[in-house]
A and B are shown apart, each in its own frame.
Chain A
Amino acid sequence: MKIAVCIKRVPDMELRFAIAADRKSLDQSGLKYDISDFDGYALEVALQLVEKQGSGEVVLVCLGPDGVQETLRKGLAMGATRAIQLKTDVVPVDGLAIARALAAELGSGGYDLILFGRMATDTAGGTVGAMAAELLGLPCVTAISHLELGDGKGTARRDLEGAAETVQFPLPAVLTIDEGIARPRLATLKGIMAAKKKPLEVKPAALGEVRLTVESMALPPERSGPKFMGEGADAVAELVQRLRTEAKVL
């Protein structure tokens, strides 16, 4: 079984963000980067599938500047077989441009499965996986929280608002992975040592035309704190009064 896992390198979300002087990018000082959460789940799913089969390959693909090599090495340390960097100095915010570059690389790869996280935690667009599937002409199931494979087919579960779908699909296919499906493993020391010798190929990213760009970035308006802070159950009367007259939600 040959599986591609497309990952993104994103800033640590626990940090405080500041906007750079150009008003359209993040101030990079103090930012720490790592694999996007959902992509970590996707990688774990791939590793488990190959382990279960007893043979196969997990190929990591990441688009971005040379800094992504650190993230790719980490994935290799977790157990991926080899890695591909699609090199571009700036990762565009345009999901279709990214999908185009990925599809150009993945199309001839002979993959049984192509996995994505359901969205990157930074730009939170959640479009690239489904777009790549469309460009590749492959069946696609997005945001899955459960997966079973057998006989060249798969069954997945997707959580909808207030409901859950069971979906069947043939292989090869593109899947985007939601949380809760598998906890990513930690790299072992042995894995980290082995990762240094695993192949990491660098190729140019064929992004094509970019139609979606960042016009500006801003921090959400600072809330000056609540309009009303009460203490204890006695504050309920005023809260309800304000919900009625001020917020008009009652």
Chain B
Amino acid sequence: MADMFAFAEARGGELRKVAFEAVAAARRAADATGGGQVHALVMGAPGIAARADALGRFGADVVAAVEHVGLERYAPEAFVATAAERIKAGSYRAAFFSASAEGRDLAPRVAARLGVGLASDVVGFDVAGDAVLAEHPAYTGKVIVTLRLTGTPAIVSLRPGALPATEQPRTAKIESVAPAADPGAGRVVVTGLAQEAGAKLDLGEAPVIVSGGRGLRAAEHFKLVEDLADAFGNAAVGATRAVTDDGWRPATDQIGQTGRVVSPELYVAVGISGAIQHLAGMRTAKTIVAINKDKDAPIFKVADYGIVGDLFEVVPRLTEAVRKARSG
């Protein structure tokens, strides 16, 4: 029986989907050891504590809520100090973070401050005796590495979306906690946060991603991809590096080794040939659909469903069929 820690990420006054994933993973880890407590930490501007009870739904027993006007945005030094202090205060077998943009900054620093090991960007794990075994796609996703992490607490950061949050409802006790360092006194200060124009649903949060590649032939044809995403209702739009390099889409839409790494429930690749660099960013999606005119395109090797054909004919038809399927 071992207690687990989870860092619950918030942005803009709301918990993020990755917060539930971290808590649910901690719950699963605690249960695997015969049932221990799950303690979560959430940090944000005043008001975030009122959101914290949602973490109980995914298995948190206790939520430490740190509210401070200086925590509206990620304040690295205050976050690191507070997370490290909370972890030290308990006796946790493992601590779970998200390998989101924020988590990839936070988790390594917390591990270094505590002098403990970190397995990052993990897509599966197992608490085995005195070790945590963690699965991590490496070498642009061409090799799955199982890592052995010893020592306590073992720090694990989870690839967003790879381990969907399952509900394990309980009533979480919310405790108000002060930050371990003054958020206003950090050396590194986030002075601005600009939302990307047109980003409706974030790539890391969306259960469905519709992505376009060079096969679309021109920036204006991305309308086809957007329409299909709209038809799904819960979809975000991604792109290949070729497309973002050409300026058809913003760089932040890029999915791949050098862009975002995503694991949605459904990934629809439109006019994407499937370069290694792109596959590295999406091959852990649960279900992959590819639409491409070249039947030998490498994308079909990782796809679960494929249509060989002219995307300008196939995609509008698919958009219509998806819309119909969802309304009926």
- A interface residue numbers (CB < 8 A to B): 11, 13-14, 16-17, 19, 26, 37-38, 93-96, 99, 121-135, 139-143, 145, 155, 158-170, 173, 178-180, 211-220, 223, 225-233, 235-237, 239-240, 242-244, 247, 249-250
Alpha-carbon separation in the docked complex, A165 to B136 (Å): 28
B149 touching A212, Cβ below 8 Å = yes
In the bound assembly, the distance between CA atoms of A173 and B186 in angstroms comes to 13
B residues adjacent to A (C-beta < 8 A): 73-74, 76-77, 80, 100-102, 104-105, 107-109, 111-113, 115-121, 133, 136-151, 187-196, 199, 202-205, 207-208, 251-252, 257-260, 265-266, 276, 283, 286-287, 289-290, 295, 300-310, 313-314, 317-318, 321-322, 325-326
A178 CB, min distance to chain B CBs, angstroms:
8
B74/A214 in contact, CB under 8 A: no
Contact A216 B117 (CB under 8 A): no
Of B117, B193, B208, B286, which contacts A212 at CB under 8 A?
B117
How far apart are the CA atoms of A131 and B325 in the complex, in Å? 49
Which of B112, B144, B259 contacts A218, CB < 8 Å?
B144
Most buried by B among A126, A219, A227: A126
In the assembled complex, the Cα of A126 lies from the Cα of B192 at a distance in Å of: 24
Task: Kindly state the separation between the CA atoms of A160 and B9 in the bound complex, as whole angstroms.
Answer: 13
B250 to chain A, nearest CB (A): 9
What would be 15 A-B contacts, judged by CB atoms less than 8 Å apart?
A: A126-B108, A134-B109, A160-B193, A165-B192, A166-B190, A167-B191, A211-B151, A219-B144, A220-B137, A226-B306, A231-B307, A231-B308, A233-B310, A243-B266, A247-B304
Which residues in A have their C-beta under 8 angstroms from that of B101? 143, 158-161
Closest to A240 in B: B321
Q: Given the interface contacts A94-B117, A164-B194, A227-B304, does A19 sit within 8 Å of B143 by beta carbon?
A: yes
- Cα–Cα, bound, A160→B190 (Å): 12
Please judge, given known A-B contacts A134-B109, A232-B310, A240-B322, whether A159 and B252 are in contact too, CB under 8 Å: yes
Tell me whether B289 and A211 are in contact (CB under 8 A): no
Interface of A is mostly: mixed
- Bound CA span A194–B113, Å: 41
Beyond A215-B147, A223-B302, A249-B286: 20 further Cβ-contacts under 8 Å?
A19-B143, A95-B118, A124-B138, A126-B120, A128-B108, A161-B205, A164-B193, A164-B196, A165-B190, A165-B193, A166-B190, A167-B191, A179-B258, A217-B146, A219-B142, A229-B300, A232-B310, A233-B310, A233-B314, A243-B305
Chain A residues whose C-beta falls within 8 Å of the C-beta of B265 in the assembled complex: 249
Expressed in whole angstroms, the minimum distance between the Cβ of B290 and any Cβ of chain A is 8
Q: Are A232 and B307 in contact (CB under 8 A)?
A: yes
The answer to whether A217 and B144 touch across the interface, beta carbons within 8 angstroms, is: yes
